[in-house]
Chain A
Amino acid sequence: MSIKKDHDLHKKRGKSNLMLGLVLGGFVALVFGITIAKMTAGHNMEAADHVLRPALSYAK
């Protein structure tokens, strides 16, 4: 027997899920935008990665 998705509850939840999806998608876009803006401004976007990173100069 198949589960029918025609209950009112599903419609309401579907709308909530769509809104949440849009918010999360917007958040991803925003983080991407922030990254681009920071890199364009010349910020160093690399950080310690639990191994020795020659690209990051630890010595003074």
Chain B
Amino acid sequence: MTDATVTQNTYDAEFGDYYALLKPRVMTLVVFTAAVGLIVAPVPMPFILAFSSILFIALGAGASGALNMWWDADIDEIMKRTQSRPVPSGRVSANSAMIMGLWLSVLSVAMLGLASNWFAAFCLAFTIFFYAVVYSMWLKRSTPQNIVIGGAAGAFPPMVGWAAATGGVAIESVLMFAVIFMWTPPHFWALALFMNEDYSDAGVPMMTVTHGKPHTRRQMWYYTLLLAPIALVISFTSIGGPIYFVAAVVLSAMFIKHAWGVLGRAEDTAIADSYAAERKMFRFSLLHLFGLFTALLVEAAMRALELSPTYWPVWI
């Protein structure tokens, strides 16, 4: 008998399992929005500092993801969508996830402070706290408004990126925050509509579970309508411009069209085509957010190349 036979029956966690604890897919959205917040800010940053700042913001988001997986291991085990995550599938222990989450939180905040400034580091720390404590531990299991308020955590990254570059908060960064904040409910509820059984099995009080699907559809419609003016107003700030304006008009109109389609659907129609419209809206919502922020990047590039039209009104 060799030493190895002793450990043969227990799974040995691999590098990829720990990487999966950081929720890489959520992280891509964080990297992108934080990068846009940093790049469109009026203060230029040396490449290596900008790169490090975005990396450590992403790491902080990953850390809060690991903390979330530690705390939610019991419900992740029940929901089909999350069963294969490292903790519920038994590849990484919940305790390891917690330790990794805490240490990466400390590391990412400290390093962001050193790479950019301490205000940005404070914002990142607050974001991690908001996601891990306010959303995961408190709101998620206690109120159907969980993802509305918890959505703030996902909306902070562009503000943190902006803070890393400028050291402060401005109307532009608040508006970028507001866009993601208003976007999250229709985005997440579209998912909840076709994943409802998951949430009710796990006892998570999603709007679809507590107030029913027709009510959720109406709420999605309101948020989508409120999102449009916020997205449009950014056109007339220092980070906006005609290209962004056109993108915002088109994308908002399409998102409203999707929401309208989802709003009017009866439950049996939705079940009949296995939530085709809801799935489409969910997929489009990702494209919508990605499109708006890409348009902001294009405007930043235009300004850098001095191609921005001077006639474009900047109201705020």
A contact residues vs B (CB 8 Å cutoff): 3, 7, 9-10, 12-13, 15-16, 19-20, 30, 33-34, 36-38, 40-41
> Closest 7 CB pairs between A and B?
A19-B15, A16-B15, A33-B48, A7-B4, A37-B46, A37-B48, A16-B14
> Does B310 touch A at the CB level, under 8 Å?
no
Q: List 6 A-B contacts (CB under 8 A).
A: A10-B4, A16-B14, A30-B52, A33-B48, A34-B52, A41-B46
Other CB < 8 Å A-B pairs besides A3-B3, A12-B14, A34-B115, 18 of them?
A: A7-B2, A9-B4, A9-B7, A9-B8, A10-B4, A13-B12, A16-B14, A20-B15, A30-B48, A30-B52, A34-B49, A34-B114, A36-B48, A37-B46, A37-B48, A37-B49, A40-B46, A41-B46
List of B residues within 8 angstroms of A37 by Cβ: 46, 48-49
A13 nearest CB neighbor, chain B only: B12
Interface size on B, residues (CB 8 A): 15
A30 to B115, CA, bound (A): 10
What does DSSP make chain B's interface, helix, strand, loop or mixed? Answer: helix
B4–A33 touching, CB < 8 Å? no
For the complex, give the distance between the alpha carbons of A16 and B13 in Å.
Answer: 9
| Bound-state Cα–Cα, A34 to B115, Å | 6
Bound Cα distance A20, B14 (Å): 10
In the assembled complex, which residues on chain B have CB atoms less than 8 Å from the CB atom of A33?
Answer: 48, 52
Contacts A30-B52, A34-B114, A41-B46: A9 and B12 contacting too (C-beta < 8 A)?
Answer: yes
Contacts of B12 in A (CB 8 A): 9, 12-13
List residues of B (1-21) whose CB comes within 8 Å of A's CBs: 2-4, 7-8, 12, 14-15
